[in-house]
Amino acid sequence: MVGDVPVNIDLIRAAEARLAGHARRTPLLSSPFLDRIAGRRVLVKAECLQHTGSFKFRGAWSAITALPADVRGVLAYSSGNHAQGVAYAASLRGLAAVILMPRDAPAIKIANTRALGGEAVLYDRATEDRDALGAGLAQERGLELIPPYDHPQVIAGQGTAGLEIAEQARALGVSKAEMLVCCGGGGLSSGIALALEAEAPEMRVRTVEPEGFDDVAQSLASGTVVTNPLRSGLCDAIVTPAPGRLTWPILQRLCGPGLVVSDAQALRAMALAQERLKLVLEPGGAVALAAALFLPGQIEADTVIVTASGGNVDRDVVLRALAMGESDAEC
């Protein structure tokens, strides 16, 4: 069923119409202090201010509002942000939401999923097969699976962030830029790439991943899908094994080369986002900003736009980031 829906700009525009008045139009922020560190203009799409603290609400709302009216409920699996987006979107629509989550996801994400109305079912990343568990639950309880990225309506929903970016950049007089996107399975990256292909064709979309989880960068470099070993990492929101079946062809056609940052760089970017943008980011939501700030030699454009894609972070990680950023206080 999913495979029958072409993922293109029309699907994104249709999602935009369904999201109007429900998703937040997040601001495109900047700071002269960040421009100085990066050596170029830096614009930050603050998706951490989206409902449930990440861009994932867009894809969730898009997918759920595209379901038939008689659906009994939805099922999602994710490290947390997708789960929160699905739980909240489903609760706003009066639908049940069962969320299959790894037992080692940050405590705040599990608690939030439950508080937002989701039924959290936990599993062990190392010993259990998430996909098999999910398929069983879906069949048993008659739920529609909303996958975190490999779904046309999810990609279309994330792409609405790209439509906003194109319009907001245009209002600032920016048509040429490198667009850096925090990348896990590629839902946000591919959605934004399709939106900018139509609305800002002079922008180049580049994925940003954490070291050790750079399956997309390696796949883009080699021209064939490369897989990471499945394990957990600091940037838990974007720790994925490989680009998706639907996202990969879009990434390959429109994106690259991929960028890779260290955990330390992600933490320093978190500290600078706090200090200079007044934004709370999670590590996985800070990797694009980290690339803009700390990899200047790998970027060519005068303007770089980054997604600050999520802010759902445990307090101890914020404390670690603020300690890391100590030396940047007077930047």
Query: Which spans of this chain sit near its own copies (rule: CB under 8 A)?
Result: 21, 24-27, 29, 32-33, 46, 48-49, 53, 88, 108, 111-112, 115-116, 171, 274-275, 277-281, 311, 315, 318-319, 322, 325-326, 329-330
Tokens of 240: 């994925």
Which one, 234 or 277, has the nearer CB to its own copies? 277
Tokens of 315: 């307090």
Contact 161, 58 (CB under 8 A): yes
Cβ-in-10-Å burial (0-12, 13-18, 19+) of 72 comes to exposed
Q: How far is the CB of 302 from its own copies (least distance, A)?
A: 19
Sheet with 28-29, side-by-side order of all strands: 28-29, 41-45, 303-307, 177-182, 203-210, 259-261
Which one, 30 or 232, has the nearer CB to its own copies? 30
How big is the chain, counted in residues? 331
Q: How far is the CB of 48 from its own copies (least distance, A)?
A: 4
Contact 251, 304 (CB under 8 A): no
Q: How far is the CB of 31 from its own copies (least distance, A)?
A: 9
* 170/196 Cα distance (integer angstroms): 12
Q: How far is the CB of 53 from its own copies (least distance, A)?
A: 6
Q: How far is the CB of 216 from its own copies (least distance, A)?
A: 25
Which one, 13 or 25, has the nearer CB to its own copies? 25
Contact 65, 93 (CB under 8 A): yes
- Residue 23: C-alpha distances to residues 49, 55, 61, 80, 180 (Å): 10, 9, 8, 18, 22
Which one, 36 or 72, has the nearer CB to its own copies? 36
Which one, 78 or 84, has the nearer CB to its own copies? 84
Q: Bridge partners of 181?
A: 207
C-alpha closest to that of 269 among 259, 282, 251, 257: 282
Q: How far is the CB of 257 from its own copies (least distance, A)?
A: 30
Q: How far is the CB of 322 from its own copies (least distance, A)?
A: 6
Which one, 243 or 310, has the nearer CB to its own copies? 310
- In 12-103, where do the E strands start and end? 28-29, 41-45, 73-77, 96-102
Which one, 1 or 171, has the nearer CB to its own copies? 171
